Amino acid sequence: MEEFIQSRFNYWIYVILMMIGLWGMIAKNNLIKKLIGMSVFQTAIILFYVSVAVKSENSSIPILPHHGHDYSPRAAAAHATHGRATSSEDLEDHHQDEHPHVRSHNGHGQHDSKYTNHAPKVPKADNYANPLPHVLMLTAIVVGVATLGLALAISQKIYREYGTLEEDELLEKVRAEDDV
Amino acid sequence: MMKKLAGIVVFMVGLLLFYGVSNVDDFPGWGDPDSPANASPLSQYFITDTIKDSEVPNMVTAVLADYRGYDTMFETVVIFIAGIAIFAVVRVSRNNSPVCGGNKDDEPDLIITTTCRLLVPVIQIFALYVLAHGHSSPGGGFQGGVIMGASFILVAVAWDLDTALGRFSEKAAIACAGLGIIIYAGFGLASMFYGKEFLNYGITHKLLPGVASPEMARYYGMLGVEVGVMFTVTSVMFLIYGLLSTRGRMSGGL
């Protein structure tokens, strides 16, 4: 049982947050409380997406280590030609002119023996978290802030017009206006 | 009565979600590398080939600004539209509305203003760092833009909104919000001038001097569109704060 709870802990929290958010949106009478519920609901979805992106325990954030340019094909080729003592960035332009097809050489490795020793490492998909859900949530968070701002602006306007944010009082006032 | 009904609905939804998530046969386990989301060829391609395609070590930025360039462009447009909509909904003219907020004669606190004077430049430099280093460390246009917007909001909180508007006026904010999208779409159009698709930055190495390869052109193209995103996000965040905190008067405030 403990194992079962722990193995899907993020998903339990996501379900609970989603229920709280849904309760806030449906049951609460105050418009601001409804918006708070909406934000909680949004957070639950973000948690769900990020949890889906997780891989096994040895996977890392989706950013390659790049101090030695280990994974960069062009930098690896530059190292092969000019030696490790020279900065690869300085020579990139020059190098490109000489070998415009340096990438394909590296990809196959057999064409030119001097590239084979320094062929770039290809990142293993299992070692990094799935980047796609992170991207989706990155934009969703900022857009969420902007749309929440719009919702608050509309609530502010409603309060200025009717002097209340309680839904039932608002309905009464709107109906009274319609009757006139 | 309504609350009971709402409770039943929430409970039913929760029960369904609990069932769906706990179903071991259908729902992939925690951190399963073979789950459909993680094992899809697309997400594996992003991890293995991003560095080959664009020299960007941060896959999230590469996917955001290049592979999913259209998505990010229209997200930026959504933010811009939200900013304009807030402006349209709550903005009132200064003259015919009641005064709100604190007493304008209050001098801002010396300790607070001095601290902010020291902090704001550091925050803004950090925002630019987050933007410019977004390719190789966590960061990018959205994050940098929010931090930059927070620096203006800090000025508005510490002094008052008029001081902040002196630094970054309302007109400038709206213009910058539009400018960001123009920058983003401009990079897309620039690649069309060379006969490639919209937002295919690889071709802009013919345009940018000193950029030798299509891969590096992608790298700098992404930086360019992130700058555009930052312009929009910064000004919209500041506009949202300014408009909401003063009930649309854009003066005085908290």
Q: What is the DSSP string of A100-132?
A: TTHHHHHHH--S-HHHHTTPPPPPPGGGB--HH
* Cα distance between residue B136 and residue B130, in whole Å: 10
Instruction: Put residue A164 in one of left, alpha, beta given phi > 0 → left and psi -120 to 50 → alpha.
Output: beta
pLDDT given at position A126: 78
Q: What is the pLDDT of residues B42-74, one digit of tens each?
A: 888 888 888 888 888 888 888 888 888 899 999
Q: Closest approach of chain A CAs to the CA of B89, in angstroms? A: 7
Q: What value, to the nearest 5°, has the Cα angle with vertex B186 and ends B89 and A131?
A: 80
Q: What is the dihedral of CA B66, B184, A137, A71, to 10 degrees?
A: 30
* DSSP secondary structure, A27-71, as one string: H--BHHHHHHHHHHHHHHHHHHHHHHH--STT-B-SB---SS-TT
- Assess contact for B137 and A65: CB atoms under 8 A: no
pLDDT at B104 over 60: no
pLDDT at B99 over 80: no
In this prediction, residue A89 has a pLDDT band, given cuts at 50, 70 and 90, of very low
Reading the block at residue B123, the tokens are: 């925050």
* Cα distance between residue A62 and residue B136, in whole Å: 10
pLDDT given at position A83: 47
In this prediction, residue A80 has a pLDDT band, given cuts at 50, 70 and 90, of low
How high is the mean pLDDT of chain A? 76
Choose between B252 and A127: higher pLDDT: A127
State the first-to-last Cα distance of chain A, in angstroms, to the nearest integer. Answer: 62
pLDDT given at position A109: 39
C-alpha distance from residue B206 to each of A62, A131, A134, B248, B249 (Å): 30, 30, 32, 46, 48
Give Cβ neighbours of residue B4 (< 8 Å, ≥ 6 apart): none
Q: At what angle do helices A9-27 and A31-53 cross, to 10 degrees?
A: 160
* Cα distance between residue B151 and residue B130, in whole Å: 14
Mutation pick from A139, A147, A157, A168 vs chain B, by most beta carbons of B within 10 Å, is: A139
CB interface of A with B, residues 132-171, below 8 Å: 132-135, 138-139, 141-143, 145-147, 149-150, 152-154, 156-157, 160
Closest CA to B65 of B224, B246, B176: B224
* Cα distance between residue A96 and residue A27, in whole Å: 64
pLDDT given at position A111: 42
Q: Closest approach of chain A CAs to the CA of B79, in angstroms? A: 6
B42 → closest Cβ in A71, A122, A132:
A132
pLDDT given at position A95: 41
* DSSP secondary structure, B192-254, as one string: HHTTS-TT-GGGGGGTSTT--SHHHHHHHHHHHHHHHHHHHHHHHHHHHHHHHHTTT--SSB-
Mutation pick from B47, B49, B244 vs chain A, by most beta carbons of A within 10 Å, is: B47
Assigned CATH topology for domain A2-59+128-179: Helix Hairpins (1.10.287)
pLDDT at B247 over 80: yes
Max Cα-Cα span within chain B: 70
Burial class (CB in 10 A: 0-12, 13-18, 19+), B168: buried
Residue B213 forms contact with A (CB below 8 Å): yes
* Mean local confidence (pLDDT), A157-171: 89
CB interface of B with A, residues 105-144, below 8 Å: 136-138, 140, 142
Q: What is the pLDDT of residues B25-34, one digit of tens each?
A: 778 877 787 8
* Cα distance between residue B61 and residue A62, in whole Å: 10
pLDDT at B111 over 60: yes
pLDDT at A158 over 70: yes
Q: Under DSSP, is residue B7 helix (H, G, I), strand (E, B) or coil?
A: helix
C-alpha distance from residue A59 to each of B150, B162, B205 (Å): 33, 49, 34
pLDDT given at position A90: 41
pLDDT at A179 over 60: yes
Residue B171 forms contact with A (CB below 8 Å): no
pLDDT given at position B95: 57
Are the Cβ atoms of B60 and A71 closer than 8 angstroms? Answer: no
CA nearest B13 in A: which residue? A19
Mutation pick from B27, B43, B87 vs chain A, by most beta carbons of A within 10 Å, is: B43
Reading the block at residue B127, the tokens are: 């925002």
pLDDT given at position A116: 46
Q: Closest approach of chain B CAs to the CA of A116, in angstroms? A: 17
* Mean local confidence (pLDDT), B92-97: 65
Q: Closest approach of chain B CAs to the CA of A95, in angstroms? A: 10
pLDDT given at position A10: 85
* DSSP secondary structure, B94-120, as one string: STTS---BS-TTPPPPHHHHHHHHHHH
Q: What is the pLDDT of residues A113-140, one digit of tens each?
A: 444 455 667 777 778 888 899 999 988 8
Q: Closest approach of chain A CAs to the CA of B129, in angstroms? A: 17
CA nearest B42 in A: which residue? A132
Ranges in chain A annotated CATH 1.10.287.3510: 2-59+128-179
Percent of chain B with pLDDT over 70: 93
CB interface of A with B, residues 37-76, below 8 Å: 51-57, 59, 61-66, 71-74
What pTM value is reported for the model? Answer: 0.82
Q: Closest approach of chain B CAs to the CA of A169, in angstroms? A: 16
Choose between A74 and A38: higher pLDDT: A38
Identify the weakest region by mean pLDDT among A90-99, B39-48, B75-84, B142-151.
A90-99
Q: Which residues of A touch B46 (CB under 8 A)?
A: 62, 131-132
Q: What is the pLDDT of residues B167-214, one digit of tens each?
A: 899 899 999 999 999 999 998 888 888 877 888 887 767 776 777 787
Are the Cβ atoms of B89 and A131 closer than 8 angstroms? Answer: no
pLDDT given at position B22: 81
Spell out the long-range contacts of A3-7 with Cβ–Cβ below 8 A and sequence spacing 24 or more.
A4/B22, A7/B29, A7/B30
